[in-house]
C-alpha cells in the first residue's frame, strides 16, 4: 500500500471538510464498489472460463453417492 497526496486549490468559501469526505467516499467506492459485474471480476482477479466435460460431473456424483452410503 502506498500513500498518495493530492493538492487542490479551492475557493475560500468551499467547505474543506465536506470536500475531503466527498473525495474519500469517491476513492472508497472506486477501490471497493458494492457490486461488480462479471466482466469486472474477471478482469480484476484474472479469472478465465473453461469448459468442464460432463464425464467429470458423472464421476463426482457417483463418488458423492458412495460417500453418503458410507455415512449412513
Report the predicted TM-score, pTM, of the whole model to 2 decimal places: 0.40
Confidence at residue 4, expressed as pLDDT on a 0 to 100 scale = 81
Confidence at residue 1, expressed as pLDDT on a 0 to 100 scale = 67
Confidence at residue 58, expressed as pLDDT on a 0 to 100 scale = 74
CA-based R_g, the chain, Å:
25
- Grid coordinates standing for 53? 466435460
Q: Rounded to an integer, what distance in angstroms lies between the CA atom of residue 56 and that of residue 52?
A: 7
Which range of 4-8, 42-46, 66-70 scores highest in mean pLDDT? It is: 4-8
pLDDT digits (tens, 9 = 90+) for 15-56: 989 998 998 888 877 777 777 788 887 887 887 777 777 776
CB within 8 A of 25, min separation 6: which ones?
A: none
Amino acid at each position: 500500500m502506498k500513500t498518495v497526496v493530492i493538492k487542490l486549490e479551492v475557493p475560500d468559501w468551499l467547505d474543506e471538510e465536506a470536500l475531503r469526505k466527498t473525495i474519500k467516499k469517491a476513492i472508497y467506492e472506486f477501490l471497493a464498489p458494492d457490486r461488480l459485474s462479471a466482466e469486472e471480476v474477471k478482469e480484476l482477479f484474472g479469472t478465465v472460463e473453461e469448459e468442464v466435460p460432463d464425464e467429470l460431473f458423472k464421476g463426482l456424483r457417483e463418488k458423492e453417492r458412495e460417500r453418503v452410503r458410507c455415512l449412513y
